[in-house]
Structure 1
Amino acid sequence: MNQTQLDLRNVQVTRYVVPLREGGSLPALAEADDGFLYVLKFRGAGQGTKALVAELIGGELARAGRLRIPELVFATLDPAFGRSEPDEEIQDLLKASTGLNLGLHYLSGAITYDAAVHQPEPLIASKIVWLDALITNVDRTARNTNMLLWHKELWLIDHGAALYFHHDWQSWQEQSQKPFIQIKDHVLLPFASMLDEANAAMKQLLTPEKVRQIVDTVPDEWLAQEPDAEPATVMKDVYFQFLMHRISHSENFLNQARHAREGLI
């Protein structure tokens, strides 16, 4: 393991348990050779490896910000893994996902977060709103919260739709300077009464060294899937520069969140 990377564990997928029919990533519950269950995100699904990159970066930024997220692991699929799968759609997905995928540790017994039932602490809500504005995560709405309650704690899942600038690499500098208008739909915005405190805390935790370490953990092979891919080091530097520019100019998206919240309360 490169010293500049996070030490994510590697597991071998041994059993496809059941598909999870939510979202465009077509995730599934799978068992690995360590005996644990994981929510598996496939490289062969609709958004391809870009969704895995966003999942990894977004999730580990959340962890670095001291928010709760299930353990992320690199999950390898053997070429022969899908041959016995009777469902043709699933078999095609598994065949297209041979190699390195991403798994999130399955939180058994967790329930979907409901804002009408559970009100999070203001600082936690504010940090999550801040994070999602940073990574331009459009998937934390009342319709699709992408949060779980497990042992009475709030856990974040599914960041695959974040960092959508990478669907148009040429505009990354412009996108890094924009506020995040969709923050008005964030399910936790009404509870985010400590945005200034969250801003200070997250900027202290998400140092250039930590952000670089997270970005460098992205496997080169996920970045090589682009038709016009630059060298992996170049693409990783774009992710790093995008994030650092947004962090250093956080007032751009923080003001947007403040104004959106004022319209709610």
Structure 2
Amino acid sequence: MNTTQPQLRTVNVMRYVTPLREGGSLPAIAEANDEFLYVLKFRGAGQGVKALIAELIGGEIARALGFRIPEIVFANLDTAFGRTEPDEEIQDLLKASTGLNLAVHYLSGAITYDAVITKLDSRLSSAIVWFDCLITNVDRTPRNTNMLMWHKELWLIDHGAALYFHHSWHNWEEQAKRPFALIKDHVLLPWASELEEVDKDFKAILTDELIRNITNLIPDEWLIDESSDETAQQRREVYYQFLITRLAASQTFVTAAQHARASLI
């Protein structure tokens, strides 16, 4: 498992290829100056930079825990980008997203994970359930698994709906200690029989230093909110404190997940 300090590359978006019309975020496939294709997540969409922060933190925690995650990069969008885009909705999105965005490597040819077709073992199922409890990820349901099969291996994607405490923000400490009630809808919960073992192993990996290194990746410009007097560093500190508080209280969400699983089997 990867416990080294995370580092993200920065690319410049060169070509808008096609939109991915999923939900309200309207991500797109785009080509960058390194000639790779990426799924581009826009700061001007839906939940704005908070979705990008959740994507960044969730993805890098997952990578540290040994899950397969497409490479995450910062993606610069120039002011001139999209001027020739004929779709007004997309053009408005591009204009609102000038500056630093987030992108993940595009897994060409990947197919959506289907629990009916591909069975995961109890260890991996438990690991993913535990991880989603930690980051309060609401988006791993049978209807929308946000997992892909690529070259016969499982990849986790789309963590922008996680860390939903930051949409209310002020009661973050209380939320950090709560069980994750929506785990009852998790696609892998029926097979997650090793949560106690995973809890012990993963808490040993997610040290305070590692969590600090991951939250330090959040750009200052994503953390400045005109509605608040808090500095970028003060807001970054809340993400760090939320995660280490939640890790310390992990037995709460593990027990809740076990109870939810018992009601299913």
TM range (shorter): over 0.9
> Is 1:83–2:83 an aligned residue pair?
yes
- Letter aligned with residue 222 of structure 1: W
In 2, Cα distance between equivalents of 1:200 and 1:110: 32
Relative to 1, partners in 2 of residues 1:225 and 1:86: Cα closer, same or farther, differing over 3 Å? Answer: farther
The residue number in structure 1 matching 2:73 is: 73
In 2, Cα distance between equivalents of 1:227 and 1:78: 26
In 2, Cα distance between equivalents of 1:230 and 1:159: 25
Q: CA deviation at 1:5?
A: 6.7
Q: Secondary structure, in 3 states, of the residue corresponding to 2:102? A: strand
The residue number in structure 1 matching 2:27 is: 27
Q: Secondary structure, in 3 states, of the residue corresponding to 1:245? A: helix
Q: Which runs of 5+ in 2 are unaligned?
A: none
1:168-247 alignment, distance < 5 Å? 168-228=168-228, 230-247=230-247
Deviates more, 1:99-108 or 1:194-203: 194-203
- Alpha-carbon RMSD across the aligned residues, in angstroms, is 1.2
Native 8 Å contact 1:223 1:229 kept in 2: no
In 1, Cα distance between equivalents of 2:230 and 2:5: 20
The residue number in structure 2 matching 1:111 is: 111
Q: Secondary structure, in 3 states, of the residue corresponding to 2:86? A: coil
Q: How many residue pairs are counted as aligned between the two chains?
A: 262
Q: CA deviation at 1:229?
A: 5.0
- Letter aligned with residue 19 of structure 1: P
- Letter aligned with residue 120 of structure 1: L
Deviations 1:80-99, CA, capped at 9 Å, x for gaps: 00101111100000000000
In 2, Cα distance between equivalents of 1:259 and 1:41: 35
Q: Could you tell me the percent identity over the aligned residues? A: 66
Native 8 Å contact 2:6 2:60 kept in 1: no
Deviates more, 1:113-122 or 1:227-236: 227-236
TM-score, normalised relative to structure 2: 0.97
In 2, Cα distance between equivalents of 1:176 and 1:35: 40
Deviates more, 1:174-183 or 1:227-236: 227-236
Q: Secondary structure, in 3 states, of the residue corresponding to 2:67? A: coil
The residue number in structure 2 matching 1:152 is: 152
Deviates more, 1:21-30 or 1:11-20: 21-30
In 2, Cα distance between equivalents of 1:128 and 1:234: 30
Native 8 Å contact 1:178 1:253 kept in 2: yes
TM-score, normalised relative to structure 1: 0.97
Q: CA deviation at 1:262?
A: 0.7
Deviates more, 1:125-134 or 1:229-238: 229-238
Deviates more, 1:115-124 or 1:153-162: 115-124
Q: Secondary structure, in 3 states, of the residue corresponding to 1:169? A: coil
Q: Which runs of 5+ in 1 are unaligned?
A: none
> Is 1:12–2:12 an aligned residue pair?
yes
1:125-164 alignment, distance < 5 Å? 125-164=125-164
The residue number in structure 1 matching 2:264 is: 264
Q: CA deviation at 1:124?
A: 1.3
In 2, Cα distance between equivalents of 1:7 and 1:227: 30
Native 8 Å contact 1:49 1:225 kept in 2: no
In 1, Cα distance between equivalents of 2:106 and 2:14: 15
Native 8 Å contact 1:5 1:217 kept in 2: no
In 1, Cα distance between equivalents of 2:209 and 2:47: 29
Q: Secondary structure, in 3 states, of the residue corresponding to 2:173? A: helix
Q: CA deviation at 1:7?
A: 1.6
